[in-house]
């Protein structure tokens, strides 16, 4: 895991360890390639020679996130709006360490997934309640659940995704947090990341909107489009979230939260063309985990009901198609394509209509034949409820039977909770 934070000189404090400068060490009077900041004069000395430095958070204290510079290269002070490029480096390919395969049957993993989902939900609610009451974030209770969730996703991702589709959580914020966590874990599995890295992604996904606990409830519950002032206030959840996480001291055995999680929270609303917030970063300036979080968060938002958006939520397939259209524009093209491969063109749990007129729900994505997933049929061709559910694997049926469209949640009055819980 990366342990360096790029920060402005204003962010330096006594107790920090400077591991790199913005220029070669030989061009400075410093004798060692590494500086332990012990006095205010040490900071002044660094300020005379540098505009920014890299701080190793494992060898000293962590800079205040307000002074972080998440850009990978030298600062660019031009005010020209950047353009999304197609040459964003594929810096995720070197992280592939594993090739996962499904090791449990859907039906057997489903029962385990239900228990895990319930435990994570209960602990998430308790964690957020304690944060609002005490002003301190304790993630100890959710970490075990995230580890179990990751293991379930690794064994068979379809099971926990199916549980998510039942939307058992009434509170929008809880449901969103749980879904983005699972989508992050599923994406990490597809990318072949090692289990600890997938856990970091999943925990980061769970905490993406933690800053909203610091916003007025009236703002969060307001229906209809936000005013410019309201939108600006809503966007503050990013900075609030980073500050909450930066002050979390119980994240790991050494008391430090992985930097990648803070980067996810800080940059999940940044976009490849520089149109995001709060820093208007673009392309490679957005850390890899931030780019992943941005794709996952956007996908889930597209097919979720949101109080501030008048339009109906997209179907899962429409959201996938929208992401594909925005590849190379708002999001790194290669990562979008990998995400779609991970979840399928018709993701698990989504409703679809067949060319026969029948309606079903996707229970598993067939890796090599993503247009022909496994289904459980719910309605007949006349849109009448079937007396009992019928399973159908499109990869093994007549090619004349095809999916004609994805359906939004609740289409034809289908209540997944009523049918499957």
Report d(CA 299, CA 294) in Å as an integer. 9
Strands 385-393 and 403-407: unpaired
Report d(CA 59, CA 12) in Å as an integer. 14
Give pLDDT, residue 62.
79
Q: What is the pLDDT of residues 322-357, one digit of tens each?
A: 999 999 999 999 999 999 999 999 999 999 999 999
Report d(CA 3, CA 167) in Å as an integer. 37
Give pLDDT, residue 197.
95
Structural domains in the chain, CATH included, are 4-69 (no CATH), 106-343 (1.10.3210.10), 351-420 (no CATH)
348 near 161, Cβ under 8 Å? yes
Give pLDDT, residue 134.
85
Report d(CA 356, CA 381) in Å as an integer. 6
Give pLDDT, residue 80.
43
What is the pTM for the complete model shown? 0.80
Report d(CA 326, CA 318) in Å as an integer. 12
Strands 403-407 and 359-364: unpaired
Cα–Cα distances in Å, from 322 out to 196, 262, 292, 350, 418? 31, 27, 16, 16, 29
Chain-centroid distance, C-alpha 75: 26
Rounded to 5 degrees, φ, ψ at 383 are 65, 30
Q: How many residues does the chain have?
A: 421
Residues of the chain with pLDDT under 70: 1-3, 32, 66, 70-91, 167-173, 249-256, 307-308, 310, 419-421
**Using H for helix, E for strand and C for coil, what is the string for the chain?**
CCCEEEEEHHHCCCCCEEEEECCCHHHCCCCCCCEECCCHHHHHHHHHHCCEEEEECCCCCCCCHHHECCCCCCCCCCCCCCCCCCCCCCCCHHHCCCCCCCCCCHHHHHHHHHHHHHHHHHHHHHHHHHHHHHCCCCCHHHHHHHHHHHHHHHHCHHHHHHHHHCCCCCCHHHHHHHHHHHHHHHHHHHCCCCHHHHHHHHHHHHCCCHHHHHCCHHHHHCCCCCCHHHHHHHHCHHHHHHHHHHCCCCCCCCCCCCHHHHHHHHHCCCCCCCCCCCCCCCHHHCCHHHHHHHHHHHHHHHCCCCCCCCCCCCCHHHHHHHHHHHECCCECHHHHHHHHHHHCCCCCCCEEEECCCCEEEEEECCCCCCCCCEEEEEECCCCCEEEEEEEEEHHHCCCCCCEEEEECCCHHHCCHHHHHC
């Amino acid at each position: 895991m990366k342990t360096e934070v790029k920060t402005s000189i204003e962010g330096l404090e006594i107790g920090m360890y400077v591991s790199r400068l913005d220029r070669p060490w030989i061009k400075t009077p410093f004798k060692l390639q590494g500086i332990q900041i012990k006095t205010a004069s040490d900071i002044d000395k660094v300020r005379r020679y540098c505009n920014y430095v890299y701080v190793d958070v494992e060898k000293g204290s962590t800079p205040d996130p307000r002074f972080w510079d998440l850009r990978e290269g030298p600062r660019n002070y031009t005010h020209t709006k950047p353009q999304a490029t197609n040459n964003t480096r594929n810096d995720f390919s070197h992280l592939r360490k594993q090739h996962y395969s499904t090791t449990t049957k859907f039906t057997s993993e489903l029962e385990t997934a239900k228990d895990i989902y319930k435990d994570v939900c209960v602990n998430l609610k308790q964690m957020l309640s304690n944060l609002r009451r005490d002003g301190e974030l304790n993630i100890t209770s959710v970490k075990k659940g995230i580890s179990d969730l990751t293991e379930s996703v690794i064994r068979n991702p379809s099971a926990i995704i199916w549980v998510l589709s039942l939307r058992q959580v009434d509170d929008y914020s809880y449901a969103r947090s749980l879904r983005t966590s699972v989508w992050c874990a599923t994406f990490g599995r597809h990318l072949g990341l090692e289990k600890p890295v997938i856990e970091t992604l999943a925990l980061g996904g769970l905490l993406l909107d933690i800053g909203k606990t610091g916003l007025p409830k009236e703002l969060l519950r307001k229906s209809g489009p936000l005013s410019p002032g309201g939108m600006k206030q809503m966007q503050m959840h990013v900075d609030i979230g980073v500050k909450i996480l930066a002050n979390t001291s119980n994240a790991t055995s050494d008391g430090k939260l992985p930097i990648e999680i803070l980067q996810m929270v800080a940059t999940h609303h940044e976009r490849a063309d520089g149109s995001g917030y709060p820093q208007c970063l673009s392309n490679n300036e957005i850390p890899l985990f931030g780019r992943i979080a941005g794709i996952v968060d956007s996908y889930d938002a597209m097919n979720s009901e949101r109080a501030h958006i008048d339009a109906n939520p997209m179907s899962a397939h429409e959201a996938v198609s929208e992401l594909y259209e925005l590849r190379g524009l708002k999001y790194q093209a290669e990562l979008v394509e990998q995400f779609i491969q991970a979840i399928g063109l018709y993701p698990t749990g989504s409703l679809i209509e067949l060319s026969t007129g029948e309606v079903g729900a996707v229970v598993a994505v067939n890796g090599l034949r993503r247009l022909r997933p496994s289904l459980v049929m719910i309605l007949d061709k006349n849109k009448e409820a079937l007396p009992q559910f019928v399973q159908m694997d499109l990869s093994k049926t007549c090619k004349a039977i095809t999916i004609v469209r994805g359906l939004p949640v609740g289409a034809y009055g289908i209540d997944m909770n009523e049918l499957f819980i």
